Amino acid sequence: MHWRKYLLQGLHRLQKGPGYTYKELLVWYCNNTNTHGPKRIICEGPKKKAMWFLITLLFASLVCWQWGVFIKTYLSWDVSVSLSLGFKTMDFPAVTICNSSPFRYSKAKPLLKDLDELMQVVLDRILAPEPTLANTTGALNFTLWNHTPLVLIDERDPQHPVVLDLFGDNHNASAGSSAAPARAGNAPGYKLAMRLCSLNGTVCTFRNFTSATRAVTEWYVLQATNIFSQVPHQQLVEMGYPAEHMILACLFGTEPCSYRNFTSIFYPDYGNCYIFNWGMEEAALPSANPGAEFGLKLILDIDQEDYVPFLASTAGARLVLHEQRTYPFIKEEGIYATSGTETSIGVLVDKLQRMGEPYSPCTRNGSDVAIRNLYSSYNTTYSIQACLHSCFQEHMVRNCSCAHYLYPLPPGQRYCNSRDFPDWAHCYFDLRMSLAQRESCIRMCKESCNDTQYKMTISMADWPSEASEDWIFHVLSQERDHSTNITLSKKGIVKLNIYFQEFNYRTIEESAANNMVWLLSNLGGQFGFWMGGSVLCLIEFGEIIIDFLWITIIKLVAFSKGLRQRRAQAPYTGPPPTVAELVEAHTNFGFQPDATHPSPHAEAYPEQHAPPIPGTPPPNYDSLRLQPLDTIESDSEGDVI
Amino acid sequence: MAPGEKIKAKIKKNLPVRGPQAPTLRDLMHWYCMNTNTHGCRRIVVSRGRLRRLLWILFTLTAVALIVWQCALLVSSFYTVSVSIKVHFQKLDFPAVTICNINPYKYSVVRDLLADLDQETRGALRTLYGFSEVKSRKRRGAASENPAWAGIQPKFLNTIPLLAFSENEKGKARDFFTGRKRKVDGTIIHRASNVMQVHESKKTVGFQLCPSNDTSNCATYTFSSGVNAIQEWYKLHYMNIMAQVPLEKKINMSYSAEELLVTCSFDGTSCDARNFTLFHHPMYGNCYTFNNRENETTLSTSRGGSEYGLQVILYVDEEEYNPFLVSSTGAKVLIHQQNEYPFIEDVGTEIETAMSTSIGMHLTESFKLSEPYSQCTEDGRDVPVTNIYNASYSLQVCLYSCFQTKMVEKCGCAQYSQPLPPNASYCNYQQNSNWMYCYYELYQAFVKEELDCQTVCRETCRFKEWTLTASLAQWPSEASEKWLLRVLTWDQGQQINKQLNKTDLAKLLIFYKDLNQRSIMESPANSIEVLLSNFGGQLGLWMSCSVVCVIEIIEVFFIDSFSIIARRQWQKAKEWWARKQTAPSQQGQDNPALQMDEDLPTFTSALHLPPAPGAQVPGTPPPRYNTLHLERAFSHQLPDTQAPSEP
């Protein structure tokens, strides 16, 4: 029922015109508003009024500008960081240990036999180029060689480099190449290069090397990858170093542990790796004390004698500290521990916790990254390294139609090998060197919001000492191999101490620098500072604007009505009709259905109009609008009382 | 009467619009308190009762005091910084890597220059410690064969005699050369004795520096061990000799890039000596900087891990080492910014032979805010020390430049291990006979911060820092040693013709562990906007005040008060004048005030409104014309009534 009343009132107003003028409204607003400036405009003299008007305007624009600045600052999503540093009981990091050599040579020898023989001959060829050695090449398996051969490039004449095949004299050499007749092995100007061909050997590129060491190593790694990618996983694991062979002693704090506490994982570069405290099946182990006595102590045997000679030129244990339930990226983030030394690693956990969108571009769990995480099969969490590797593998599959051996296998794909994919090496090197590929991966992968790094302080000492060497080796040999002979040597033994430092964490946590409270208090502060205003003042202002619009609407309605009436009265001449006339005109109009001859009436009206209505003075029509005045009056009267 | 006028009349009636026109200051105050927008003042005036009024006065004053105090705090803490740490994962610029052999010059080449010095050193060793050369090393055969020690007049030991002090004979020392005792007077300075308590249990060794032609004012430097004393003594003479050798010759005496670098690869591709720039360091000879070539773009890495960084195998020829100058073997590596000067002797990582040193890097970039937040400098242009290095400003550069400049000023020549300032030459005995004494004096002053270098030099505002994690592994491994050394020998065969040994080689890997770059950034904690809004918050909280109120206060308390006082004075003066002119004045008293009143605008005149017409129409009250509008309501019905009538 109420709305009907309001509607009627509204209609009533539309007919009667507004109850007040713009000026009244403005004065009323200025007088009653709570903002400080406007009041002064109306209660001062003309000069001061102008001044106050300008000041109010200036301050209002200042407030608007400053509000804009604040809102812009707020929308820039700045963060502030808090840094805390100290010691607390924390989960000990997961420790992944690998041997530098992926496989035991004694076990891998049958697979690598052909390749190693070839390698020996290649080395002889490069180093001692006398053709007398040529007869030894007869028994070699050249299928490996012919796929991606190494060539010598004679660059003594920079304009016309000559490509020399290493086995040029007794094998089919490409056109233009010939056996080096009088090649001085280490003469300047000779370079080794790897020939990578695709499309059945029609398109060939040369991958140049400035040093033979690198060329030979890279060539061997490529060939070995070819071989290993065709071997079933189980066999690879068997070829690697078994845990009971590698991990001789383990002590975590005061708790003894053994190789059984390690989770095995196969890492293509380093063979069998063992993870301590990964937290996959059981809860992570906490460490409540700083210092080497309370950390992890390990004695490892890396068995240097059994290294694959051409694959592992660096001897040592490789280890990486990482967070629980993350995949260890040993090649990127790992460090070495030398044999015959005790390596002590003090750990500081450096944590960075970020807010995520829209504050910083990072991802919480990788679900919003467009790249399928291949490492999720290990049940590990997202990390940027995992994303980059997955991205590379994805590109590899797309460009070369096979997956690279070093990265996990995407479902439905096969690893590259030169038997099934003869062009893969060419394709792989292209991709590896392609900056566009890397940049697209960097663009697509996002950092994870919680980033944990383990800062290490590494120190080393000789171990075991000369005096203790004998008994230590004796005991360890007895334990592992049950033999009275010493089966270990200083060249293979690695001791590791990993422990928390006195300050074991440094946490950098992000929080929003400018939150809603900050924004509101600053907006309020600005408004208050310049004009003494508040939100209520804004509401007042809004109210006034609505009133203004209302007046305008009413006036417009009245104006359009007036226009229509004037058009209707267009035939009339003379002075404009009074209200009474109009009223009567309307009355007449309403009561005369047949308006066929209005002319006599029209003549009659002016006559009637000429003498004013006798007696009472013309009523002050304005005073009829009692409603607004009444309210003011009652207000002011209340004040007076 | 028009309704607008009526409102205004009401306002006028309720508002005592007579602030500036107030006849007395008291009235003005009253008017101000009643009309001001700040809270509190009004309560003072309105409150009844003395206690209440007093309380309100107290509250108001407390609020004012609090505002002033808080605002002062805000202003004083304006120049504070907030730190933000950001991590970006992106392609990173690879830093410049400077690699030096620890030994500066090939001993076989430089031996001729140092022959006399070495002989005397050996002689001194023999005299003091009874050490005679063990001729196990074939390379020293020629030099140590010379037994004619007694016959030569030693020039180096004469200039700076090496002395052994025994505890029980104060002021007496034994000369190394002659073996006879000599009296030592002047100041005896124990190196570092003012830092550490030296236990003088055994005899000390040292050397004496005297200004030329004046043996009375000698400074004697003593060391607790002969090793330090002899090395220091050797170094002084060595610098003296090397200062006279032209740079060209020195570069030729040192190692070439091809010799030092056996293999090199960066980011999976091969590189060679051409990718390195020569940088000659006075104490380390030829150093080579990777990724620091002018007119070339800085290399960057787009993948982390050792494979994608810099991998070099260095040839460190131990047989060419100078026995007295350097006592450790290996190479030194420094990771720095491209335009930065590598202070290899101060900050370097030493790498071992027969080992593979892998250095993982993390990049941290720091930005500080300069004046007025802190005392750092953007590019060193505002530091009053001329940069004698051909490199960008850093604190270290500034300190050394400052020292070198002072050295040239005081001693007339430049110290050998730092670059030459313009119009100066390196110190040597021929030209500056007592430079060593001067140098040591100056050095003492420098260490004690008496040269003002430490106060003048300022740190830089932005710097990149690479945190390194170095780990060692045995290289080459037992299994691969045989073939690897053969191939490496072939690689190096162009430079030297000898079978390489694994102790001659060192492998070095420098790489980014991951591509996360941490930036530690300082940003102003406060801006003008925040300060103002804090002001506003304080003003609003305590008194609901704003700038408008401040303007009001100025207006009322200064302008209006003064005008009132001036008016009164003027009135008085006029009165006085009138009384003086004509004793019987006629109503002169009233006029000025009235005139003022007329001049000052009334409310209606201020608004330029027409004067209100006589509001009171006598007689009948106005009729309620609302009733007239019935017709209009009727006319609305017209179309309805007409519609059915029309067929």
- Give the integer Cα–Cα distance in Å for B484 and B507: 12
User: pLDDT digits over A85-94, tens only?
Assistant: 999 999 999 9
- Give the integer Cα–Cα distance in Å for A39 and B14: 14
User: pLDDT digits over B28-48, tens only?
Assistant: 888 888 877 788 888 888 888
- Give the integer Cα–Cα distance in Å for A576 and A579: 10
- Of A49, A308, A529, Cβ closest to residue B535: A529
- Give the integer Cα–Cα distance in Å for A174 and A176: 6
Residues of chain A in contact with residue B265, where contact means CB-CB under 8 angstroms, are 210-211, 214
- Give the integer Cα–Cα distance in Å for A287 and A92: 6
Taking the CA of residue B541 and the nearest CA in chain A, the distance in Å comes to 9
Residue carrying the six token digits 């139609």: A401
Residues A58-75 have a mean pLDDT of 91
Q: Mutation test of the interface with chain B: which of A14, A213, A323, A434, choosing the one with the most B Cβ atoms within 10 A? A: A213
Model pLDDT, residue B3: 54
Q: Mutation test of the interface with chain A: which of B89, B311, B350, B632, choosing the one with the most A Cβ atoms within 10 A? A: B89
- Give the integer Cα–Cα distance in Å for B383 and A245: 63
Query: In b/e form, how buried is each residue of A571-597, taking b as 16+ CB within 10 angstroms?
Result: eeeeeebeeebbbbbbeeebeeeeeee
Asked if residue A49 has pLDDT above 90, the reply is no
Could you tell me the sign of the dihedral formed by the alpha carbons of B238, B414, B212, B172, in that order? Answer: negative
- Of A316, A332, A593, Cβ closest to residue B305: A332
Asked if residue A576 has pLDDT above 80, the reply is no
Label residue A390 by pLDDT band (50, 70, 90): very high
Domain ranges of chain B: 21-80+530-560, 82-106+254-374+505-524, 107-131+155-244
Distances, alpha carbon A403 to alpha carbons A196, A414, A586, B461, B642, in Å: 18, 6, 94, 48, 90
User: pLDDT digits over B210-219, tens only?
Assistant: 666 666 667 7
Q: For the ranges A147-161, A301-315, A387-401, B435-449, which has the lowest average pLDDT? A: A147-161
Joined tokens for residue B326:
């350097």
> Would you call B14 and A81 a contact, using CB atoms and an 8 Å cutoff?
no
CA-based max dimension of chain A: 147
> Would you call A309 and B642 a contact, using CB atoms and an 8 Å cutoff?
no
- Give the integer Cα–Cα distance in Å for A16 and A552: 14
Q: For the ranges A255-264, B61-70, B394-403, B581-590, which has the lowest average pLDDT? A: B581-590
> Would you call A526 and B532 a contact, using CB atoms and an 8 Å cutoff?
yes
Q: How would DSSP label each residue in A514-533?
A: S-HHHHHHHHHHHHHHHH--
- Give the integer Cα–Cα distance in Å for B550 and B211: 73
Tell me the percentage of chain B whose pLDDT exceeds 90: 15
Model pLDDT, residue A246: 92
A&B contacts, CB < 8 Å: 337
- Give the integer Cα–Cα distance in Å for B465 and B8: 73
Are residues A612 and B612 in contact, defined by beta-carbon separation less than 8 angstroms? no
**Residues forming beta bridges with residue B414, ordered by sequence position:** B426
Model pLDDT, residue A46: 79
Model pLDDT, residue A586: 56
Give which of B432, B407, B429, B434 is closest to B418, Cα–Cα: B407
- Of B4, B265, B477, Cβ closest to residue A27: B4
Model pLDDT, residue B523: 86
> Would you call A532 and B535 a contact, using CB atoms and an 8 Å cutoff?
no
- According to DSSP H, which parts of A532-592 are helical? 535-568, 579-591
Q: Mutation test of the interface with chain A: which of B7, B88, B596, B627, choosing the one with the most A Cβ atoms within 10 A? A: B7
User: pLDDT digits over B321-354, tens only?
Assistant: 888 888 889 999 999 998 889 998 888 899 999 9
Model pLDDT, residue A235: 92
Burial of B330 (0-12, 13-18, 19+ CB in 10 A): buried
> Would you call A331 and B263 a contact, using CB atoms and an 8 Å cutoff?
no
> Would you call A314 and B475 a contact, using CB atoms and an 8 Å cutoff?
yes
Taking the CA of residue A331 and the nearest CA in chain B, the distance in Å comes to 6
Residues B471-491 have a mean pLDDT of 88
Residues of chain B in contact with residue A11, where contact means CB-CB under 8 angstroms, are none
Beta strands A317-322; A150-154: pairing state: unpaired
User: pLDDT digits over A190-211, tens only?
Assistant: 778 888 877 776 788 888 888 8
Residue in chain B closest to A125 (alpha carbons) equals: B487
User: pLDDT digits over A453-476, tens only?
Assistant: 899 999 999 988 999 998 999 999
Are residues A295 and A253 in contact, defined by beta-carbon separation less than 8 angstroms? yes
**Per-residue DSSP letter, B556:** I
Q: Mutation test of the interface with chain B: which of A211, A353, A622, choosing the one with the most B Cβ atoms within 10 A? A: A211
Distances, alpha carbon A407 to alpha carbons A218, A373, A393, A403, B212, in Å: 18, 11, 7, 8, 73
> Would you call B477 and A590 a contact, using CB atoms and an 8 Å cutoff?
no
Residues of chain B in contact with residue A619, where contact means CB-CB under 8 angstroms, are 622-623, 625
**Per-residue DSSP letter, B150:** T
Are residues B255 and B285 in contact, defined by beta-carbon separation less than 8 angstroms? yes
- Of B37, B263, B472, Cβ closest to residue A36: B37
Amino acid sitting at position B104: P
- Of A216, A305, A438, Cβ closest to residue B302: A438
Joined tokens for residue B373:
């937040």
Asked if residue A149 has pLDDT above 50, the reply is yes
Residues of chain A in contact with residue B628, where contact means CB-CB under 8 angstroms, are 579, 583
Model pLDDT, residue A172: 39
Model pLDDT, residue A1: 65
- Of A39, A49, A315, Cβ closest to residue B473: A315
Taking the CA of residue B442 and the nearest CA in chain A, the distance in Å comes to 38
- Of B477, B484, B600, Cβ closest to residue A45: B600
Helix B481-492 × helix A105-127 angle, to 10°: 20
Entry pTM: 0.78
Model pLDDT, residue B10: 62
Residues of chain B in contact with residue A45, where contact means CB-CB under 8 angstroms, are 600-601, 606
- Give the integer Cα–Cα distance in Å for B22 and B41: 18
- According to DSSP H, which parts of A381-485 are helical? 384-400, 424-433, 435-444, 466-481
> Would you call B358 and A525 a contact, using CB atoms and an 8 Å cutoff?
no
Q: For the ranges A174-188, B436-450, B514-528, which has the lowest average pLDDT? A: A174-188
Helix A384-400 × helix A424-433 angle, to 10°: 140
CB-based contacts of B149-155 (< 8 A; 24+ apart in sequence): B149/B119, B149/B123, B152/B116, B152/B119, B154/B120, B154/B123, B155/B116
- Of B270, B477, B530, Cβ closest to residue A314: B477
Residue in chain B closest to A333 (alpha carbons) equals: B513
Are residues A125 and A149 in contact, defined by beta-carbon separation less than 8 angstroms? no
Residue in chain A closest to B485 (alpha carbons) equals: A213
Sheet with B204-209, strands from edge to edge, namely B181-183, B172-175, B162-165, B204-209, B219-223, B187-190
> Would you call A521 and B10 a contact, using CB atoms and an 8 Å cutoff?
no
Q: Mutation test of the interface with chain B: which of A40, A153, A304, A335, choosing the one with the most B Cβ atoms within 10 A? A: A335
Query: Who's near A583: CB < 8 A, 6+ residues apart?
Result: B628, B631, B632
Distances, alpha carbon A259 to alpha carbons A243, A464, A495, B583, in Å: 6, 21, 15, 125
Residues of chain A in contact with residue B469, where contact means CB-CB under 8 angstroms, are 335, 455-456, 458
Q: Mutation test of the interface with chain B: which of A71, A83, A191, A210, choosing the one with the most B Cβ atoms within 10 A? A: A210
User: pLDDT digits over A488-507, tens only?
Assistant: 888 889 999 999 999 999 99
Burial of B51 (0-12, 13-18, 19+ CB in 10 A): exposed
- HSE at residue A198, side-chain half, CA atoms within 13 A, is 13
- Of B355, B474, B537, Cβ closest to residue A524: B537
Residues of chain B in contact with residue A578, where contact means CB-CB under 8 angstroms, are none
Residue in chain B closest to A520 (alpha carbons) equals: B533
Residues of chain B in contact with residue A488, where contact means CB-CB under 8 angstroms, are none
HEC readout, B399-453: HHHHHHHHHHHHHCCECCCCCCCCCCCECCCCCCCCHHHHHHHHHHHHHCCCCCH
Higher pLDDT, A235 or A571: A235
Tell me the percentage of chain A whose pLDDT exceeds 90: 25
A44: phi > 0 → left, psi -120 to 50 → alpha, else beta; which? beta
Residues B265-274 have a mean pLDDT of 86
> Would you call A66 and B303 a contact, using CB atoms and an 8 Å cutoff?
no
Residues of chain A in contact with residue B478, where contact means CB-CB under 8 angstroms, are 304-305, 307, 315, 491
Query: In b/e form, how buried is each residue of B77-101, taking b as 16+ CB within 10 angstroms?
Result: ebeeeebbbbbbbebbbbbbbbbbb
The fourth-level CATH superfamily of domain B82-106+254-374+505-524 is Acid-sensing ion channels like domains (2.60.470.10)
Give which of A87, A137, A294, A40 is closest to B20, Cα–Cα: A40
Give which of A359, A377, A357 is closest to A369, Cα–Cα: A357
- Give the integer Cα–Cα distance in Å for B20 and B41: 18
- Give the integer Cα–Cα distance in Å for A310 and A302: 17
Asked if residue A32 has pLDDT above 60, the reply is yes
Residue in chain A closest to B482 (alpha carbons) equals: A309
Taking the CA of residue A225 and the nearest CA in chain B, the distance in Å comes to 16
Joined tokens for residue B18:
């007579």
Joined tokens for residue A24:
């009244």
> Would you call A27 and B8 a contact, using CB atoms and an 8 Å cutoff?
yes
